Amino acid sequence: MAASDDCRLDLIKSLVRAFPDFPKKGIIFRDICPILKSPEALSAVISLFEQHVREKFQKVDLVVGLDARGFLFGPLLAQRLGVGFVLVRKKGKLPGATVSVAYDLEYGKAEAEIQEDAVSPGQKVILIDDLLATGGTLYAACALMQQQRAEVLGCLVVMELKDLNGADKLKPHHVHSLLQY
């Protein structure tokens, strides 16, 4: 990793705030809002993602962002890569014909969906979100891409909570995280 990469990562990490016991006792919430507030830090996140994608993949057709914070990073990355952006939303939030998949949460069940015509068979996609915890939401998004017969090149996240082993749930898909806690 180049020194400039280290500087960008240091900047990003310095802006992540930890809130103990939120939303409940025993959980440390990692807040990325200060990153979004800093043009320099936000640019650093997108630049590091762009660098990773360009080094690892010859062709990307779409960036797929997960509800809701993947919507913040995804369009910026898609614009830098010169490709389109697609939304994966919670069930019932998209108009028109949709495709959905159910998945488990730590506290129940949920469904993720995309518009039926959002991804075409054979398209090469990168998934993006702010956080990888248990992997449920990214797993559901990968399943949606598989249903649409798209090729998932990899998953990008700003932060990964390593102790929760979410990356294991996503295998064989590669996860690239900027920060690990």
Query: What amino acid positions are annotated as catalytic residues?
Result: 69, 106
CA pair distance 79, 77, nearest whole angstrom:
5
Residue in the structure block whose two tokens are 């959980």? 27
- Is residue 69 within 8 Å of 48, Cβ to Cβ? no
Pairing of strands 98-105, 62-66: unpaired
Eight-state DSSP code of residue 163: G
CA pair distance 43, 162, nearest whole angstrom:
25
Cα dist from 65 to 14, 18, 134, 138, whole Å: 24, 24, 17, 10
Q: How many helices (H) and strands (E) does the chain have?
A: 6, 9
